[in-house]
Structure 1
Amino acid sequence: MKVSVIDLGFNSVKMVNYDVRKDGSYLAYQQEGVKVKLGEGLTKAGYLKGEPVERTIEALKLFRDVIGFDSIRHVLPVATSAVRDAVNKADFLRLVRDQTGFQFKVLTGQEEAFYSYVGALESTCVPTSLFFDLGGGSLEMVYTENYSIKKVRSYPLGALRLSQRYSENGVFSKKAYGKMEDHILDVLPEKKELGMSIDTTLVGVGGTLRAIARYEQELSDYELDKIHNYRLDYPSVSAIARELYRMDADELAEAKAIGSNRVDTIVAGSTIISLLMQKLGFDKIVVSARGLREGILSAFLRDAKTFYSGSISSERAKAHVTFACQVEPLSQYAFSLVRPLVSSGLMREKERVILSHALKQMSDLPSVTNLSNLFHLIIDEDNAFLTHREQLILALAIVHTKKEKTVDWLFARYRSILEPQNMRSIEKISACIVLSTILERSKAMARLSISGKKVGIRILQGKQPVPAMLVADALRNFERAFNVAVSCQVNNAPKGQPASVRVIA
C-alpha cells in the first residue's frame, strides 16, 4: 500500500510518499518540498497574502500530479500554524480544495504537538522526555513521564516568524538580535512551570535542528552518515548558534549543511534551540529525523476512521508510542544462553540489549553476499533504542559472524565513534549470535554453569538435531570472545553424532 502525507507549514510545503508493508512498517521512497513561505506577512495583518497563496497552490498542483502518476490512493494533507492562525483560513482552504482537490485537515497546536511527538518518540523511545518540534511558525513542546503526556504547550516562536520580525532577509543587526533573544527567553516557559523530572531527556525535531546536527558533523568529520538519534551537547549548540549569527547570507548559503533554502531561518532557529537548552538546563539533546509526517502516517495506519473523523488525544498518543516502543524479548532458546552470562557478569546488560536487536534485525535482512553492502543495510536502519555507537557495534557484530577481517577495517574506519574496548563487545555479541541461531534452529535449550573462567554448557536436544561440529566451531569463538574455557555436552544426541562436544582453548 502507498500513502502520501502532505505537510503545509508556515515556511514550506512538503510531500512524503511511503510504501507501507503488510506488517505495518513503512519506508519513505519519495520526498518533495517547496519553500512557499505561506506565512509571509501573516504576523502583521493576520491574512494569508496573494503571492504566498499562489505559490502554495502551484506546489500543491505539482504534488497532485506526482500522486496521481504514482496511483497513490491514500493522501493525508495536514496544515499547521500559518493556516491555523490566518483570519482568511476558510477562504484559503476552499480555494485549495477547488483548485487542487486536496481537503486539508487543519491541526490545532495541541494536535500538531501530539502527532509530532508520536512520530519522533516511536523512533527514539525515550520514556521521560521533553519533546519539541520547531517549525517555521511555532514551537510545540510535549513533556512526558514514562510515555504519559503531562504537559503540552505551543508557542509562537517559529524560525521564519522570528526572522521576519527581527531581521532583514535573515541578517540581524546586533540590536535586533539582542531583542530577539530577550523575546525568546520571555516566551519560553520556566523550568518549574513544566515540573520536569531530573531524568528528563530533551528530544527535538525540525529542519533547523537537523541542519545544526549536520553542521557539527561536518566540523568534526563525523564518519557516520546518519542524523537520527544523534546527540548534541549544549556547548556545541550554543557555539554553532553564535557562529551562524556572525556569518553573512553568502557564507550561510555556502555551508553544505545549511544551504540557500535555510539562509533566512537558520539564525533564528538555532538561537531558539540554544536558548531553550539554556533556560531549561539541558546539557544534551537527542535529534529525531522523524516527526509530524511520520506521526500522521502512524495514526492513520493504526486507526484510519478516527484519524479522519476525530482528533488525537493524549491517551491515544501514549498508546501509539508505548506499542511501538515495546522491546521484543529474546526467544526462550537465546534467553537460556544469555541470561546466565549477564547474571555472572560475563556479559553486560547493554551488550544483551544490542544482541537482542541484532537477532531481530538479522531475521529481516535479505540475503547479501557483499559484506560492505550488508553493513550499510544494517546501519541505515533507524533504531529507536540504540545510540550511533551501539548501532555500529550491532552492525559490526553481525558482519563478524560472516568474516572477522572485514570487521577490522570497518572498525578502523569508524574509530572516532567507537572505543577500543568496543571490539570485545562486538566479539561477544557475534559469538552469542551464532550460538543463539543454532539453538533457535534446533529448538534446543542451553543450561550453563559458570565458575570463574570456566563455563560448562549442556544443550538439551530439541526438535531438530543439534549440529555438533557447528557447535564446536561456535564455542571456539565463544572462548576467545569471553576469555573462558568451555566444556559442552549435547544431551540425547541422535545416533551417529557425538553426545559430548569438548573444546580446549
Structure 2
Amino acid sequence: MTQVFGGRAKAIELEPLGVIDIGSNSVRLVVYEGAVRAALPIFNEKVLAGLGKSIATTGHLGEESVERALEALRRFRAVARILKVKNLRVLATAAVRDAVDGPDFIKRAEQAVGVPIEVLSGAKEAQLAAYGIRMGFPAADGLAGDLGGGSLEVIDIYKDRLNDAVTLPLGGLRLIDQTAKQIDRALPLVDEQIAQVTWLTNGRGRPFYAVGGTWRAIAKLHMEQANYPLRVMQGYAIPTREAIEFCQLVRRTKKISAFPGMDDVARARRDVVPFGALVLERLLEALAPSEVIFSVFGIREGLLFSLMPPLEQQKDPLLSFCEEYARQRSRSVAHALELCAWTDALFEGDGLKETEEDRRLRHAACLLSDIGWRAHPDYRGEQSLNVVAHAGLSGIDHSGRIFLALAVYFRHVGSDESKADDFSSRLKMVISKRAQKRARIIGAAIRAAHMLSIGMPGVIDETRLSYEGIKLVLTIPRAYSALDGERLRRRFAILAELVAREPEIRILA
C-alpha cells in the first residue's frame, strides 16, 4: 500500500458535485468533493433571500427577495464554473412550490443559474430530508423534522426504511406572515396542524432528529446557555423535557435580539427563531421522543446520498471519513490500519471487554492517531485534540467524538495530568469515566506502538500482544530486536498498568 506523507492519494479522482437549495428563507450552494459516503464540502455559501416571507398573505414571492435570489444564483453559477463542477443540481422547495408566480421565477432562475431546476413536491422534500438523516446517522430509528421558512416535513425513519411522512405549513417565515409577527397567534395554528397527524405518537420514546437552520440556531443558543465545550451542531443532543423548556424560554423572550448567544445568529434569521422554537416545543409535546438530536444534514446531503450506488450508501460514514483523513494527513494510512488490528488483541480472550460500538470508535481513533505529525512536538496533542473534536465527522454522537479527540490527545501527551489544558479538561466533563479510561488505554497503546514502529507500516504487524495470566506480553521478532529500548519499555509499562497487568517484552529467538 502506498505511503502518504501529508499529501492526497486516492484510488480514484473525485468529480466535484454541486447542489443549490432554493429555500423559503435562504439560497445556498454546497459543492462536495464527490458523491462518496464521507464527502466533504469544498465550498459552502448561503444568501438569506427570504423568498417565502409573504407567501401566506399575498401568494407571491417578493420582488426584492426574487432579485436577491437571482443575484445569488448568478454568483453560484460562476463559482461552480471556477470549481469545475460538471454536475450541478438545483432544488426549489416550499416557497417556489406554493407561490402564484413560482413558475415565472423558475424561468428567470434557470436563466440565471444555467441548469434546470427541480421544484420538489412535499413528498420528495420529505424523502430527501430522510436521506439526509441516513447520511449522518446510518442506523437512525426515530422521527425527523426538517423546518424551513415555508414548511415543516416530518418523516418516520427506521434504518433504511422510510415510513410515514407529512408536509405541514409551519415554516417560520410563513407563521410570521400569517400572524403579523404575533407569536401568541401562532400557537393555535401550530397545534391545529400537529393534531391532524395521528401517527406522530409513533415517535414516543424514540429520538427526534431536528433539521434546518432555525433549529440549529436554537441548538447554538442552548450550547451558549449550557457553556458547552464544543460548538459542533452535528449530533448535538438535548433531553426532551430540557429542550421543551428551553424552547418555551426562547419564544417567551420579549426582546429576542438580546437573548444570550443571539449575536452569533444571522440577523435575517433572528425574528424566525422564536417561531421555530414554538414549532419544536409543540412538536416535542406531541411526540414525546427520548431526546432531540440536531443534524446539519438535510435535503442537499439527502440528494447526494440518493446519487450514491448502494454499496457506497452502506459504508460506515465515520470509518470512511477517518480512513480518508488518514490518507491525507498521516505519514502512512497502512500503519493506521495495522494499528486497528494490533490493538484488537487488547480486547480478546481474557482481556478488556468492548461493545461493537466501542470497537468501531477504537478503530476510528487508530486511523486518526497520526494526523498531527507535522505539528511541533510540544503542541501535537493540543492541535490533534482541536482538529478531531471539531472535524466534519458523521455517524457519531458527541460522546464518541470527544472520546476520539481524547484518545488521540493521550497518544501524544501520555498520562501526565500536568499537561492537561483547559479544553481537554472541559471535554472530560462531558463523557463518562469509563470512556475517559478507554481513551487513555487506546492512547497509551497507540503511543507504545508508534515508539516501536516509528509510525511506519510493516513492523507492528510482525509483533504480537497477548495476555498471559497477570501479564501483558509484547512479543518482538529478533529482526526488530534493536527497536527495543528504555522509552518503549516505559510506554509499554504504562499501557500494562492501565489494563491492570504486569508488562513483559519478549524477543523471539
> Per the shorter chain, which TM-score range?
0.7 to 0.9
1:185 corresponds to 2:185: no
Q: Normalised by the size of structure 2, how large is the TM-score?
A: 0.80
What is aligned with 1:312? none
1:156 corresponds to 2:169: yes
Q: Distance in 2 between matches of 1:153 and 1:450?
A: 59
* Partner residue of 1:205 out of 208, 211, 217: 211
Larger relative contact order (Cα-Cα within 8 Å, sequence gap ≥ 6): 2
Amino acid at match of 2:385: F
What is aligned with 1:271? 278
1:391 corresponds to 2:391: no
Residues 425/54 of structure 1: CA separation in 2 closer, same or farther (3 Å cut): same
What is aligned with 1:144? 157
1:292 corresponds to 2:304: no
1:417 corresponds to 2:430: yes
8 Å contact kept, 1:129–1:145: yes
Residues 144/436 of structure 1: CA separation in 2 closer, same or farther (3 Å cut): farther
Cα deviation for residue 82 of structure 1 reads 1.6
Amino acid at match of 1:133: D
Amino acid at match of 1:180: L
Amino acid at match of 1:408: A
Equivalenced residues, count? 467
Cα deviation for residue 60 of structure 1 reads 1.9
What is aligned with 1:129? 142
Q: Distance in 2 between matches of 1:177 and 1:156?
A: 12
Q: Structure 1: state its 5+ residue gaps.
A: 304-315, 492-498, 500-505
Q: Deviations over 1:362-395 (max 9, x none)?
A: 3666633332222222222133343323322222
Residues 274/280 of structure 1: CA separation in 2 closer, same or farther (3 Å cut): same
1:477 corresponds to 2:485: no
Residues 336/376 of structure 1: CA separation in 2 closer, same or farther (3 Å cut): closer
Q: Distance in 2 between matches of 1:249 and 1:100?
A: 39
Cα deviation for residue 112 of structure 1 reads 1.9
8 Å contact kept, 1:11–1:36: yes
What is aligned with 1:449? 467
Residues 468/35 of structure 1: CA separation in 2 closer, same or farther (3 Å cut): same
8 Å contact kept, 1:136–1:158: yes
Residues 345/163 of structure 1: CA separation in 2 closer, same or farther (3 Å cut): farther
What is aligned with 2:326? none
Cα deviation for residue 46 of structure 1 reads 4.0
Q: Structure 2: state its 5+ residue gaps.
A: 1-14, 324-335
Residues 89/141 of structure 1: CA separation in 2 closer, same or farther (3 Å cut): same
Amino acid at match of 2:210: G
Q: Deviations over 1:323-353 (max 9, x none)?
A: 3458679968744653563654634435433
Amino acid at match of 2:315: F
Amino acid at match of 1:227: M
Q: Normalised by the size of structure 1, how large is the TM-score?
A: 0.80
Q: Distance in 1 between matches of 2:266 and 2:319?
A: 38
What is aligned with 1:244? 250
Q: Distance in 2 between matches of 1:94 and 1:413?
A: 52
Cα deviation for residue 229 of structure 1 reads 1.0
Q: Distance in 1 between matches of 2:494 and 2:250?
A: 51
Q: Deviations over 1:76-122 (max 9, x none)?
A: 21111122233444332222223442421222223222322223332
Residues 266/336 of structure 1: CA separation in 2 closer, same or farther (3 Å cut): same
8 Å contact kept, 1:113–1:154: yes
Cα deviation for residue 123 of structure 1 reads 2.1
Q: Distance in 1 between matches of 2:125 and 2:118?
A: 11
Residues 401/50 of structure 1: CA separation in 2 closer, same or farther (3 Å cut): closer
Amino acid at match of 2:365: A
Cα deviation for residue 57 of structure 1 reads 1.7
* Partner residue of 1:36 out of 42, 49, 54: 49
Q: Distance in 2 between matches of 1:366 and 1:246?
A: 50
8 Å contact kept, 1:358–1:394: yes
Q: Distance in 2 between matches of 1:50 and 1:261?
A: 17
1:373 corresponds to 2:383: yes
Q: Distance in 1 between matches of 2:424 and 2:113?
A: 51
What is aligned with 2:475? 459
Amino acid at match of 2:242: S
8 Å contact kept, 1:223–1:416: no
Q: Distance in 2 between matches of 1:234 and 1:468?
A: 54
* Partner residue of 1:408 out of 402, 411, 420: 420
**Alignment partner of 2:232: what SS?**
coil
**Alignment partner of 1:411: what SS?**
helix
Name the Cα RMSD after superposition. 3.4
Cα deviation for residue 8 of structure 1 reads 0.2
Q: Deviations over 1:198-245 (max 9, x none)?
A: 5x3222211122111110111121122222111112223222222222
**Alignment partner of 2:412: what SS?**
coil
Residues 29/65 of structure 1: CA separation in 2 closer, same or farther (3 Å cut): same
Residues 322/100 of structure 1: CA separation in 2 closer, same or farther (3 Å cut): closer
Cα deviation for residue 70 of structure 1 reads 4.7
Residues 24/363 of structure 1: CA separation in 2 closer, same or farther (3 Å cut): farther
Residues 464/146 of structure 1: CA separation in 2 closer, same or farther (3 Å cut): farther
Residues 190/70 of structure 1: CA separation in 2 closer, same or farther (3 Å cut): closer
